[in-house]
Structure 1
Amino acid sequence: MKLSVLVAFLTFNLSYAPVDQDSSAVELKEFTISENRLEIPFNKVSRNISVLQRKAIETTPARSIQELLSFTPGVDVRQRGVSGVQANIGIRGGSFEQTLMLLNGIKLTDPQTGHHLMNIPVPLQSIQRIEVLKGPGSRIFGQNAFAGAINIITELPETKSLNIQGFGGDFGMRGGHIISSLPIGKYKQTLSVSHDASDGHWYNSDFKVNNVFYESGYELNDKHEFNSMFGFSDRTFGANGFYTNAFPDQWESIQTYLSALSHSYRNKELFLQSRGYWRRNIDEFRLRRNEPEFFTNNHTSDVFALEINGAYTHRWGTSGLGIETREERITSSNLGDRNRSFIGLFAEHRVEFLEKFDARAGVYSNYYNELGWRHFPGAELGFQLDKFSRFYTNFGNSFRIPSFTELYYQDPSNFSNPDLLPEEAWNYELGWKLNKSRLNAEVVYFYRFTENLIDYTREPSTVHPNPNRWAPGNLSQVTFRGIETAFQYAPNLGGQHVRLNELNLSYNYIDAALVQAEGVESRLALNSLRHQVIAGLQAAFIQKIELTIKGRYIERMALDPYFLLDARLDYNRLKKLGFFAEISNITNSDYIEAGFVQMPGRWAKAGFMVNVGR
């Protein structure tokens, strides 16, 4: 195993807690789930939600948000290469087009394609926590939260801090992050800059990713607060095997801009928030890296949005209302010049009754200029068995608007279909959760019936390779049923020299039943997880060394199963000067997650961090 430890690039990484503080990964009941209207403590939520806290973000053997999410139960992450330079995220059997990604509640939907969902301009070290909602999210977040939603949450610290991190490793990996906090009176602000690069783990898989992220907040008084965000991500990479195996010299360059302004008002029982944001994605794709004249696609997509959300607590519970308007545009050498507009209305109410019961119901109404008004209701019911144990059930109607690629993209291998209808699904969930100081457990059964499922199909052929073209259509109905289990325990066994801090284990099973015409080939419908097992432990040695070990068994319906084992060692993680080392795929497994990309065997990286807080 070749390990190239390159410490050529320094970065400053902001720690959002004082240097010597840390939080237990199991005390989830302390959290309030950050939805856009209602705020509900984690232990009173009647949904299956996984929360990745700051400690887990720092100690998990992962160098990107994509890699971090791959250790989350029920989440299917399909990476193309190391460090997640591009990855597809699915939840509960849903495709990468059926997951909604948010940053502090702001939607990062890309109207061109879900392949750009993870073009997020935030370094991993800037994130305070990640909330993963599994199941329908349309009633809460609107369109495209079809199978689930992932909300990345950052925080503005009130103290000055600076953290430096640099790393290097196999495949010529090098990079680092600079994240600093400099509050001035009531004005809080953070700035982060990051760089990640690699020579690639196989032919034409090199990449460079640069991110800049600025966030600020100003408290005018106890009631009014203003916030702003600006982010930029520049990623360029060799795309061997990303979309086809016929052209190993594929290449892509993507620039993503994000800016947002918001105002929030709090006055006892009333909460109001208004915000506007803009997201631009510029994508250049070449079939031959050094011959742009052979075949090049250029796409520029823009999303403009305004939102107003509010909640009012009164004697009959808490009511939430919201309105959003979105304009999506694209200018493309292949897709043409397109635009579409949406209006969304939210209404929901939550009430507690009979001491141990609570209920929540609501509806999301969406106006799409192509189809008019549609309405998507949902409801939840919870029963608090005792202080620690809770039963819950919920149902909801979710939907997804086709991407511009599905509607209009055409090439020698694919037809377009401008007459596609939105996907719709009915979802049901029944679960039990246990939240104690040292133990968390959850068992969930879910059911999703999808109509108008968008899938690419083609007629079979006796010729190899098949010369027929793929075509998207609302051709299928599919039913997903699944069981999700997760257990997390903090034994705190041992003494000062050796201590076992945490154990976790999860198992997820999905069964899918597809209904479609006989004799056609399907590209997407039955390509989800079937079995997923994730296990891990964290131990500490001489109060300075932390060891995290994670193992994953993944079996998908259309790919060979595989097992991955990863480990990370941290020294002085919370002190002024610390070091870390990671080894990925210790078992040297041979596997493919997405496209035709052969994932790397065993590989390692190491680095340092400098924390400065005043």
Structure 2
Amino acid sequence: MYKQTFNMKRQRLIFRQFGNKGYSLFSCLGREVVCSVLSVSTLTYASAESVSTKPLVNDSTAMTTAREMMLDEVSVTGSRAPLTKSQAARMVTVLDRQQIAQAPVQSVNDLLKYAVGVDVRQRGALGAQTDISIRGGNNEQITILLNGVNICDPQTGHNAFDLPVDINDIVRIEVLEGPAGRVYGTSSLVGAINIVTRADAGTGNEGAQLHAEAGSYGYANVGGRVALDGKTSQSLSANYTRSDGFSRNKAGGLNADYKTVKAFYQGRYSDEQMRVDWHAGLSVKDFGSNTFYGAKWDDQFEHTLKTYTAISAENKQGRLHLKPTIYWNRSMDRFELFRDAPDTYPFNYHRTDVYGVNLNGHFDWTLGRTAIGAELRNEDLVSGNLGEPLANVHHIHGTNRNYEYGLNRTNISFVLEHNILLKQFTLSAGLVAVKNSWNEMNMRLYPGIDASYRIGNNWKLYASYNTSLRMPSVTELYYSVGGHKADKHLKPEELAAWEGGVKYNSYDLEGSVSVYRNHCKNLIDWIRRSDDPDAPWESVNFTEVNATGIEANLALNLQELLPAQHLLKKLSVAYSYIDQDKVETDGIQSQYTLEYLRHKLVAQLQANLWKQLNMNIYYRLQDRTGTYTNADGQIKDYEPYGVVDARLSWNAPRYTLYVEANNLLDKRYVEYGHVEQPGRWLIAGINITL
């Protein structure tokens, strides 16, 4: 982070790192000391302006030991130029490492359930397959990034969270709500999620960590991580997870079983002049997809294999800071409508290669900070049934079949942004210019502007207007099998969003309220006539869809507000409401657009029961609009439901023992159509630092 300070009356010493040595601050008496730290009190509300002078209690030995803390000035990606959370004009929800360690979750998918603006619709547990959206959108309309690199698959968004990283590898997750075109480029129609892994350079985090879990439905998880620190730091992690699943098909066989292997290698070179980061990851997943794509077939199966590689560099000296990045992501998918029975119905095979190169830069001058950027991204898909006929077919490895169809498209984008940084006021404005080779699309411009005003040390007012677009996925353009009829002439989706809000932050209380309005043109959805049981699902462009929403968050530091008691630590509550403009939907059943979370309430309570024994309780209440067809062909309304999750942990300096309960009250519910979610799920585990 390269920070230019404006309107300063005297020099300040900024501590980037220090331990709990007695002389760390004592030697600086007589000078003003600023300790910059990003602290997050809840999963649904991130505060970055607060500075804690009390030690944090880590809930996992996957972090550094409780005796050592790193205080870092953290940049978040609410704008193209790097800004700290206090500087940023746009609000970014940050799920930090401490909160990740405390949550009763086994995957990133599960963790995002506790972010109030995020809609997580699971088809399979443990992250087997999850559709994730933001603010009433669908799973195709967000951008997923790994360390700032776009890892979206243009074939489909269903498997977007087949991540190569274990949850213990993640240092924070940034959720940017609303159009993020000028920040993350195309596809970020309603928001973006950036997953940041642990880079150990200069932190002294050498060593190894091991973890193991076991639980209901034959669940087991084992993994570990090894890190080497120095001028060149490297880390390698691996993880294996399996489960028998929680359901069976009509024939009595497992149809929700699951197993996955993940491996992730990350490196960093850093000196006074430059920093170079690189990563390579692998995710292999096999899962029974029971009735994921239709209630008629209860023995579906899917295999996915994904690889991720990227390298980036950044100079630390000079007025102009440049950061070039090169990446290559490959996705392979095999879908079986009838498990292990290719003669009954041929398997669907797809392979996608995404190559990209981008260059980001920024410089400071008299009027503020200016950022520039450009990206060239090529998406190449070959398939057994999606796309246009190929002139030259490609053999499908391990079969006697060929990839006979495909689609290749190239996206070019340019970004210009300027940030005015004053003592109490920040203004960030810019635009992204986009051209895609698909359908001979001409260059289009999408502007955005964010502003915030800080009142004193605790209050912040903010407002924004942003626009973006999304290209149709290959599935939306060409999937015309199995009761589906796609339209290859679909138009790109476009969205404009207005947002305003107020935020309060102090050490004992945090809160915010925001209101937004989304206006979407040419929104893409799969619809069918509900009065005809044989009607196909068709991909169409809705002319216009408008959504109005409100989000409110409140977090209380109970140790500060009630100092006489030592049991309760923190309490947080967050609520989200969305209303879409009424559209003519008589006789129409929608898969995505008309199915959104109208109400979502999330609450969390942290308590210290005794010494190192901690308990965390989470509650989610969700009410979804829309209908679905069950296994008997009946059209049902989604019913509201509430789920309680809990985690009990004993936290020692070198190990953590824990027990987790998901859906503690054994609630039966559905998040997506007819796919019922599991009941009570118990897990016990251990984390060890060597």
1:202 paired with 2:263, answer no
Post-superposition offset of 1:518: 5.6
Post-superposition offset of 1:407: 0.5
The answer for the alignment partner of 1:476 in structure 2 is 543
Query: What RMSD over aligned residues (CA atoms) do the two structures have, in Å?
Result: 1.9
1:167 paired with 2:236, answer no
Q: How does 1:374-413 map to 2 (within 5 A)?
A: 374-413=444-483
The answer for the alignment partner of 2:518 in structure 1 is 448
Given that residues 496 and 542 in structure 1 are in contact (C-alpha distance below 8 angstroms), is that contact kept between their aligned partners in structure 2?
A: no
Give the distance between the partners of 2:480 and 2:494, measured in 1 at CA.
25
* Distance 1:36-1:308 versus aligned 2 partners, 3 A rule: farther
Post-superposition offset of 1:432: 0.8
Q: Provide Cα deviations, 1:273-315, integer angstroms capped at 9, x if missing partner.
A: 0010011110000011120222210000110000100010111
Give the distance between the partners of 1:280 and 1:294, measured in 2 at CA.
29
Post-superposition offset of 1:108: 1.2
Given that residues 559 and 566 in structure 2 are in contact (C-alpha distance below 8 angstroms), is that contact kept between their aligned partners in structure 1?
A: no
* Distance 1:468-1:259 versus aligned 2 partners, 3 A rule: same
Post-superposition offset of 1:268: 5.2
Post-superposition offset of 1:99: 1.2
* Matched position secondary structure for 2:581: strand
Given that residues 374 and 414 in structure 2 are in contact (C-alpha distance below 8 angstroms), is that contact kept between their aligned partners in structure 1?
A: yes
The answer for the alignment partner of 2:87 in structure 1 is 44
Post-superposition offset of 1:557: 0.9
Given that residues 14 and 125 in structure 1 are in contact (C-alpha distance below 8 angstroms), is that contact kept between their aligned partners in structure 2?
A: no
Given that residues 65 and 653 in structure 2 are in contact (C-alpha distance below 8 angstroms), is that contact kept between their aligned partners in structure 1?
A: no
Give the distance between the partners of 2:510 and 2:273, measured in 1 at CA.
36
Among candidates 292, 297, 308, match of residue 348 of structure 2: 297
Among candidates 182, 193, 207, match of residue 238 of structure 2: 193
The answer for the alignment partner of 2:49 in structure 1 is none
The answer for the alignment partner of 1:587 in structure 2 is 665
The answer for the alignment partner of 2:39 in structure 1 is none
Give the distance between the partners of 2:458 and 2:303, measured in 1 at CA.
49
Amino acid at match of 1:584: N
The answer for the alignment partner of 1:114 in structure 2 is 157
The answer for the alignment partner of 1:211 in structure 2 is 262
The answer for the alignment partner of 2:281 in structure 1 is 231
Give the distance between the partners of 1:47 and 1:495, measured in 2 at CA.
34
* Distance 1:385-1:419 versus aligned 2 partners, 3 A rule: same
Post-superposition offset of 1:64: 0.5
Give the distance between the partners of 1:549 and 1:83, measured in 2 at CA.
19
Give the distance between the partners of 2:100 and 2:512, measured in 1 at CA.
21
Among candidates 157, 162, 173, match of residue 130 of structure 1: 173
Amino acid at match of 1:210: V
The answer for the alignment partner of 1:521 in structure 2 is 589
Amino acid at match of 1:473: V
Given that residues 35 and 105 in structure 1 are in contact (C-alpha distance below 8 angstroms), is that contact kept between their aligned partners in structure 2?
A: no
The answer for the alignment partner of 1:344 in structure 2 is 413
The answer for the alignment partner of 2:126 in structure 1 is 83
Among candidates 642, 663, 670, match of residue 563 of structure 1: 642
* Matched position secondary structure for 2:101: helix
* Distance 1:565-1:111 versus aligned 2 partners, 3 A rule: same
* Matched position secondary structure for 1:97: coil
Give the distance between the partners of 2:95 and 2:358, measured in 1 at CA.
27
Give the distance between the partners of 1:261 and 1:91, measured in 2 at CA.
29
Give the distance between the partners of 1:520 and 1:549, measured in 2 at CA.
39
The answer for the alignment partner of 2:393 in structure 1 is none
* Matched position secondary structure for 2:140: helix
1:93 paired with 2:136, answer yes
Post-superposition offset of 1:455: 1.4
Among candidates 164, 182, 202, match of residue 228 of structure 2: 182
Give the distance between the partners of 2:663 and 2:437, measured in 1 at CA.
48
Post-superposition offset of 1:495: 8.1
Amino acid at match of 1:309: N
Moved more, 39-48 or 308-317: 39-48
Among candidates 472, 490, 500, match of residue 557 of structure 2: 490
Give the TM-score normalised by the residue count of structure 1.
0.93
Amino acid at match of 1:264: E
Among candidates 629, 647, 653, match of residue 575 of structure 1: 653
* Matched position secondary structure for 1:83: helix
Post-superposition offset of 1:117: 1.0
* Matched position secondary structure for 2:497: strand
Given that residues 442 and 486 in structure 1 are in contact (C-alpha distance below 8 angstroms), is that contact kept between their aligned partners in structure 2?
A: yes
Amino acid at match of 1:438: D
Given that residues 235 and 265 in structure 2 are in contact (C-alpha distance below 8 angstroms), is that contact kept between their aligned partners in structure 1?
A: yes
Among candidates 355, 358, 378, match of residue 307 of structure 1: 358
Post-superposition offset of 1:499: 3.0
* Distance 1:307-1:375 versus aligned 2 partners, 3 A rule: same
Give the distance between the partners of 2:236 and 2:61, measured in 1 at CA.
9
The answer for the alignment partner of 1:539 in structure 2 is 607
Post-superposition offset of 1:497: 9.6
The structure having more radius of gyration, on CA atoms, is 2
Give the distance between the partners of 1:518 and 1:205, measured in 2 at CA.
34
Q: Provide Cα deviations, 1:50-105, integer angstroms capped at 9, x if missing partner.
A: 11111110010111000000011111001122212110111000100111111110
Give the distance between the partners of 2:582 and 2:545, measured in 1 at CA.
4
Which structure 2 residue ranges, 5 or more long, are not aligned? 1-59, 249-254, 387-404, 627-637
The answer for the alignment partner of 1:148 in structure 2 is 191
1:318 paired with 2:369, answer yes
The answer for the alignment partner of 1:254 in structure 2 is 304
* Distance 1:517-1:124 versus aligned 2 partners, 3 A rule: closer
Amino acid at match of 1:64: S
The answer for the alignment partner of 2:379 in structure 1 is 328
Give the distance between the partners of 2:314 and 2:523, measured in 1 at CA.
38
Amino acid at match of 1:455: D
* Matched position secondary structure for 2:485: coil
Given that residues 503 and 511 in structure 2 are in contact (C-alpha distance below 8 angstroms), is that contact kept between their aligned partners in structure 1?
A: yes
| Percent identity (aligned) | 32
* Distance 1:152-1:585 versus aligned 2 partners, 3 A rule: same
Moved more, 222-231 or 123-132: 222-231
Which structure 1 residue ranges, 5 or more long, are not aligned? 1-12
The answer for the alignment partner of 2:56 in structure 1 is none
Q: Provide Cα deviations, 1:108-156, integer angstroms capped at 9, x if missing partner.
A: 1101001021011110000001111111111211111111111111122
The answer for the alignment partner of 2:13 in structure 1 is none
Post-superposition offset of 1:16: 4.4
Post-superposition offset of 1:30: 5.8
Given that residues 15 and 161 in structure 1 are in contact (C-alpha distance below 8 angstroms), is that contact kept between their aligned partners in structure 2?
A: no
Given that residues 260 and 277 in structure 1 are in contact (C-alpha distance below 8 angstroms), is that contact kept between their aligned partners in structure 2?
A: yes
Given that residues 14 and 178 in structure 1 are in contact (C-alpha distance below 8 angstroms), is that contact kept between their aligned partners in structure 2?
A: no
Post-superposition offset of 1:272: 1.0
Post-superposition offset of 1:525: 1.4
Give the distance between the partners of 2:77 and 2:543, measured in 1 at CA.
35
Amino acid at match of 1:401: M
Amino acid at match of 1:278: W
Post-superposition offset of 1:209: 1.2
Amino acid at match of 1:607: G
Of structures 1 and 2, the one with the larger relative CO (CA 8 A, separation 6+) is 1
Post-superposition offset of 1:498: 4.2
Given that residues 14 and 126 in structure 1 are in contact (C-alpha distance below 8 angstroms), is that contact kept between their aligned partners in structure 2?
A: no
Amino acid at match of 2:174: E
Give the distance between the partners of 1:429 and 1:18, measured in 2 at CA.
41
